[in-house]
Amino acid sequence: MLKKKDKYNVAVMGATGAVGGEFLSILEERSFPIKELKLLASERSKGKHLKFKKNNYPVEVLTHKSFKGIDIVLSSAGAGRSLEFLPSAVKAGAVCVDNSSAYRMEKDVPLVVPEVNPNETYSHKGIIANPNCSTIQAVVVLGPLHKQAKIKRIVASTYQSVSGAGQKHILELEKQAETIEKTVDNWIVGHHSVDKFLIKQFPYQIAFNLIPQIDVFLENAYTKEEMKLVHETRKIIGDPSIRITCTSIRVPVFFAHSESINIETEKKLSADDARKILSKAPGIRVIDDPAKQKYPMPLNAEGKNEVFVGRIREDESVENGLNLWVVSDNLRKGAALNAIQIAELLIKHA
């Protein structure tokens, strides 16, 4: 368990990655009580320095000995490294908040979204799992509706930005878009395609395209990403009986994921009921005025901490159904911010 202190020694695993950068930005924004900061990454990042609060910090190579004296580990270095190194961090006395998929479905590891199930934080045995980005923004909205009306079924379609895949994927979209822009005056059918050498990170061109696959396909024909949302949502909400299906799509947007979510509830909720519930719920901003063409978009959410929800309307095809459109910055609330909020809960109750 975390001991009560005025300030804490914090290690960031995967410090040079996209989420690692958000960790540093949000830690500074929220004046997180840091005594000493240690930045950890792979051998490839050896010699790099990163800025935090106007100071340059060296990036150290991650080893099993990196955690001596560390109180809190914020990890976003991938599942393999989490499985390999976080047990060493726990053994050294640190509490770890892990942003990978490594421990999310482990029975004795809490999977936490602070707005939904904060009390689960305190049952940890050294590791707390941060949910998948698409799951986090969904449950922030679904949690308060479930409390009021008990959700029976969820149909989710996620439209996920390239930043969810990593920095190299951001650069690939940028390069492909730049290449197409140079030839825009000469467009004819097919000329909006890019040369194959510009397709490296994704299986297909992502610029001006949609790819209906995120992660690998499983035996049930769903992708691993889709099943993450199914299993994680049930665990966080605490109701294994909810029927959930999901389709995940990669879209040519740099930052912020969008989701079309349809729910069926036991108790009838009107669209106005849902707006009132969500307007009062923590971490949510409702933007829902169709007459004025006001609804959430990725550009609204980029760089913001809230989960945005709009297009709230009753599903006329079922008795107790609602449609919702949910948008959030996947690197902030979908990853780094949620993890830091978990760490803040640990400090508050130390």
* Active site members: 133, 257
127 by Cβ neighbours in 10 Å (0-12 / 13-18 / 19+) ranks as buried
Say if residues 56 and 48 touch (Cβ distance below 8 Å). no
CA angle, residues 317, 321, 322, in degrees to nearest 5:
115
Residue owning tokens 């001596």: 68
Say if residues 304 and 329 touch (Cβ distance below 8 Å). yes
State how far the alpha carbon of 137 is from the alpha carbons of 25, 70, 164, 179, in Å.
20, 30, 13, 33
Alpha-carbon span 331 to 54, nearest angstrom: 22
**Helices vs. strands in the chain: H and E counts, helices first:** 8, 13
